[in-house]
Each structure stands twice: as C-alpha cells, then as structure tokens.
Amino acid sequence: MQYYMQERSLAVSSAKEAAEIYTKKHNSFFAALPFIGPFLILVILFYLIPVILTIAMSFTGMDFTLEWKFKGLANYLKLLGDKNARLVAINTIKYVVITLIINVGFGFVLAVTTAYFIKRENMGLLFQTIWMLPRMTPAVIYALLWLWFLDPTEYGMLNALLGNLFGAPPRDWILTSPMPVVIIANGLIGASLGMVVFSAAIKSIPEAYFHAASVDGATDWDIIRYVVIPFLRWPIMFMTIWQTLSLVTSYEYILLITDGGPLNKSEVWALYSYHKAFGSYEFGYGAAISVVLVAIAVIIALIMLKVFGYDALMNRGKTKV
C-alpha cells in the first residue's frame, strides 16, 4: 500500500510533493515519540518537576528527613523578617550590578582591542586564548589559583608583589575585602564570554563600513562610536540580560573562594539558599529562598522572549550573533 501511494504521487507530480505526503502521514506525535521521548523523560524528571517541587517545598518545613510538613506561608514570613536575608539581598544587588559592568564593559574593551585594533589575526587570537583559559578551567582549579594569588602570607602573589614593590605588609585579602575578590573573580570569567560574543559580532560587520568611514576621515574613536557600537547593540543587550540571569543564579565560584564569608559579607542570594538547605538542612526554607530565584529567572526569560523574539532565540544554537 505504501509503495503504491508513493508511486502514484510520483506519477502525478514532483518528488517534493511525494515527500510531503509521506511526511504528513508520519507526523503524528507517536511517530515523533521515539526521537523526542528520551529528551522529554529527562527534562521533565530532572528539570520541570524540580521547578514545581521547589515551589511546593517552599510551603513546607521540610528537613533532612524529607517529609512534607506543610506550614503555609511561614517560610516567606520568616524570610521577610530575616536580617541576614536583607544583608544578602543587598550583597546580591551590589555583586550583580558591578560584575555585570565588568562582564559587558571589559568584555567590550577586550573585543574591540583584540578584534578591531589588532589587525594581525594571530595576535588577537593569542590574547583571546589567554582570556578563555579561566573560563575553560574547572571551577575548583580556578578557585585554587585565586586562593594562592590572595594567600595571606608573603607566599601569595599579590602580597609578594606589593611587599617587594612597596614594602607593604602581607594582608588577608579574602578577609578584608571579600566582595571585591568575588566580583573580580567572576568578572574575569564573564568578560571572556563578552569578548567572544562581541568579537564575533565585530568580525561580521561588512568591511565596506570601515572603509567608507576612513575615507570620510573618521578617527578610530569615531568608528567605534558610530559604526561598531550601533552594530553591537543587540549582542550587548543580549549579553546584559543573559549575564544578569547567570549572575543572579550562579554561586559556584563564590562557594569555592570565600564560601560567603567572612560573616556573610560575600554571601549572595543563591548561595544563601544553598547554605540553608545543605548547611543547616532547612530544605523548606532554602526552597522558599530559591523560589525568589525561580521568579526572577522566569521574568528575565519572558523579557528575553519579548525583546529578542522567539525566532531569534530559537536560532541561537548557531551562535551567529
């Protein structure tokens, strides 16, 4: 029967039509299931359900026994009165805003210098490779490098340097200024992402624009201001929103370098949730803190859909910015 169908359609029209008829016939959900099934099972079990569970758990006093003891809004009321939470919220805002400026701003500077000013491609690539290194490095090793760099004795690079240059006594940097440490450590990683994305965008600007501008007597500064930045408007906006989301929700490097300390001085919201859950086993309370992140993430995702449009985001896989 199948063969007959195909031959008939071939006889009457083009190959394209035959394929379309065949495709339509086989495009039920069940035909797709063998392909999409494993994906759905994994994503639903370990992604979608956890989102729902986080919300449900936030209304319970769950501890390490993992029993559901519903207690309504108690966790949220507790959160409102939690003095630490207030400090952590302020920390988070500081951390996100300043790191974001480094990520996008310094990322842009790196991109312009390595992809526009340096005309020798190998040279630009060399610097970009150096900046990619921390990003590729496993988080634990990256944290180790920071711990050594900031070591409180003269063994640490920073103290050795300041001691030899200015005779300054060694300082415990992580103890005295944990927030700047955390911000710079994360900024370095984020800046490399900005660099890669913006460089790709700069390389995709048609050469003719640069030629036309220099014929008109534009300086390098003019070119950046009137050619490069307008072309990079979308990537810059995308990076800003995307990085906001990553910064609000990620805490791996902070956990490894300062662990939020000393005295919660570098504790951020996401890490606070982690500490509540896996430090003092208040799973319910930790979930309530996480729900705030869930809300922020959903809002940011919706903003992204709105600003950039569904289609643009769908094609992100190809990363042609």
Partner 1 sequence: MRGNRKLSMALLYTFLILVSLPIVVAYLWLFASSFSSKLIFGIVPRELTLRNWRFLWSEVKLGLTAFESIWPVTLNSIILAGSITILEVVVSLLAGFALSRMDFPGRNLIMKTTIILHAFPGVALLIALFYVLNFFQLLDSIMGVVLVKVALELPMATWMIKGFYDEIPWELEWAAYIDGCSKFQLWYKIILPQLKPGISAVSIFAFLSGWSEFIYSYTFLFNSEHYTLAVFLKNLIGDFRFLDYGLLAAAGLFYLLPVIVFFLISQKSLMRINFGGIKG
CA distance to 170, 275, 317, per residue, from 73 (Å): 49, 21, 40
Interface with partner 1, residue 228, by CB under 8 A: no
**Interface residue with partner 1, options 59, 108, 253, 272 (CB under 8 A):** 253
**Interface residue with partner 1, options 1, 83, 169, 318 (CB under 8 A):** 318
Interface with partner 1, residue 65, by CB under 8 A: no
**Interface residue with partner 1, options 75, 91, 258, 290 (CB under 8 A):** 290
Stretch that binds partner 1, among 72-80, 82-90, 144-152, 205-213 (CB under 8 A): 144-152
Q: Is 109 left (phi over 0), alpha (psi -120 to 50) or beta?
A: alpha
CA angle, 226 then 228 then 234, to 5°: 110
**Interface residue with partner 1, options 91, 92, 108, 131 (CB under 8 A):** 131
User: Bridge-partner residues for 70, per DSSP?
Assistant: 60
Burial of 313 (0-12, 13-18, 19+ CB in 10 A): middle
Q: Which of residues 164-223 bind partner 1 (CB under 8 A)?
A: 164, 186, 188-190, 193, 196-197, 200, 220
Stretch that binds partner 1, among 14-22, 168-176, 205-213, 226-234 (CB under 8 A): 14-22
Cβ closer to partner 1: 165 or 208? 165
Residue 209 neighbours by CB under 8 Å, 6+ apart: 227, 231
User: What's the min distance (Å) between Cβ of 264 and partner 1?
Assistant: 19
User: What's the min distance (Å) between Cβ of 71 and partner 1?
Assistant: 16
**Interface residue with partner 1, options 97, 214, 233, 278 (CB under 8 A):** 278
**Interface residue with partner 1, options 10, 77, 90, 93 (CB under 8 A):** 10
**Interface residue with partner 1, options 82, 105, 127, 224 (CB under 8 A):** 127
Interface with partner 1, residue 297, by CB under 8 A: yes
Interface with partner 1, residue 265, by CB under 8 A: no
Helix or strand run (H / E) with residue 147:
helix 139-149
User: What's the min distance (Å) between Cβ of 176 and partner 1?
Assistant: 17
Count of residues interacting with partner 1 (CB under 8 A): 120
User: What's the min distance (Å) between Cβ of 184 and partner 1?
Assistant: 10
Evaluate whether 297 touches 249 at the Cβ level (below 8 Å).
yes
Distance CA(149)–CA(279), nearest Å, equals 28
Q: Tokens representing 131?
A: 């900046």
- Residue 266 is classified by DSSP as T
Interface with partner 1, residue 54, by CB under 8 A: yes
Of 151, 185, 181, 141, the C-alpha closest to 265 is 181
User: Bridge-partner residues for 60, per DSSP?
Assistant: 70
